[in-house]
Chains A and B, each alone.
Chain A
Amino acid sequence: QSALTQPASVSGSPGQSITISCTGTSSDVGGYDFVSWYQQHPGEAPKLMIYDVSNRPSGVSNRFSGSKSGNTASLTISGLQAEDEADYYCSSYTSYTTLGRVFGGGTKLTVL
């Protein structure tokens, strides 16, 4: 089972919007609406930002949004803020193994 493909890094200025892509296959991203996105600051545990492609857990800012087209999911962060600088990981359910999940390699977001 290969990892989902994410860009290694993205950057943007405060107030701008950025989008992080996450490409998988029909056995994971393309086959199910079970894509999640996590934010991880250095030394901290991951935090769920988006689940089921586009749903936000309670307490997550509406500046974070998710979408999917075919085998590629995307996370968009609008109105970039300094505290958004972190690593972001996508994840999907995968039919490759029972209860399986596959993660992307992670994207480092730098707020300039």
Chain B
Amino acid sequence: EVQLVESGGGLVQPGRSLRLSCAASGFTFDDYAMHWVRQAPGKGLQWVSGIIWNSATSGYADSVKGRFTISRDNAKNSLYLQMNSLRVEDTALYYCAKEIKKQWSRDGFDIWGQGTMVTVSS
């Protein structure tokens, strides 16, 4: 079964750090670009960051640029999001998502995890 499972969320104070993980299974992980998408409570979807299959290229939304770092370990079939200098407005459910086409980086996301909740509050 193709599956993505996120972990690492929790309650954290403003200014602190958190590292999210996403474990992939059921497909050849290193064939696909991967992304993080978040959804604040009661709000819409927001793209956060993406990384291509071989880690050579990554991108970030303006709201997280310079604070968040995306990475992947293809040997471990895992995607990560290091989140530093967290703000109250980063509070959201964070999903990892897989692109539908191999080695491409502009397509839709066909597999999503169930998300991990990050709450930034003092």
Contacts and interface: CB of A to CB of B under 8 A. Distances in A.
Given A45-B95, A51-B100, A98-B57, A89 B107 contact: no
A48 B113 contact: no
A99 B33 contact: yes
Contacts of B50: 98-101
Interface in A5-60: 32, 34, 36, 38, 40, 45-48, 50-52, 57
A47 B59 CA distance: 23
Interface string B110-122: 1011110000000
A72 to B, nearest CB: 18
Contact of B100 (A57, A89, A91, A101): A57
A32 B58 CA distance: 20
B62 interface: yes
A102 interface: yes
Contact of A48 (B51, B60, B108): B108
Interface residues of B, number: 29
A95 to B, nearest CB: 10
Contact of A102 (B35, B47, B58, B106): B47
Contacts, number: 82
A46 B37 CA distance: 10
Contact of A45 (B44, B51, B52, B115): B115
Nearest to B51: A99
Contacts of B49: 99
Contact of A103 (B44, B59, B105): B44
A68 to B, nearest CB: 14
Nearest to A97: B59
B61 interface: yes
Contacts of A93: 106-107
Nearest to A102: B47
B115 A57 contact: no
B106 A46 contact: no
Contacts of B59: 97-100
Contact of A97 (B44, B45, B62): B62
11 contacts: A1-B62, A34-B107, A38-B108, A46-B109, A48-B100, A48-B110, A51-B107, A100-B50, A100-B59, A103-B44, A103-B46
